[in-house]
Amino acid sequence: MIEKAKETWRRLKESKPGHRFKDHYHQRQQSRSGGFSLRAVFIMGLGTLVLLGGVIAVPLPGPGVLIILLGLRMFAGESKRIACFLDWVEVRLRRAARWTLASCRH
């Protein structure tokens, strides 16, 4: 199970920004047999708990933001809309970070 999680993170890391979560969604959907999946419901429920745990952990010392990202990744594997939204957000955050770094250097 840990090896599978490492492989998933490696693939996310290797995907291009703006396509990471959609790629993850498509890979996840290809591994499923189609139709209603109790496993998908379980993953969405677990993703909700992980996301809430991350939100609670943000003000505390520790990896709260990373926990939130883990929960969002779980959602992105089950919902194309969420995957597209996360890709959209990632591109905008990267653009804002580049702009901020460029303005700090001047």
Mean pLDDT score, 21-42 = 81
% of the chain beyond a pLDDT of 70? 94
In this prediction, residue 13 has a pLDDT band, given cuts at 50, 70 and 90, of confident
Residues comprising the chain, all counted: 106
| 72/100 Cα distance (integer angstroms) | 25
Structurally, how many domains does the chain consist of? 1
Predicted pLDDT at 55: 92
Structural domain span for residue 6? 2-105
Helix segments in the chain, DSSP class H: 2-14, 20-31, 38-57, 64-76, 80-105
Q: Is 5 exposed, middle or buried (0-12, 13-18, 19+ CB in 10 A)?
A: exposed
| 22/4 Cα distance (integer angstroms) | 18
Q: Give residue-wise pLDDT tens across range 37-67.
A: 788 889 889 999 999 999 999 988 888 888 8
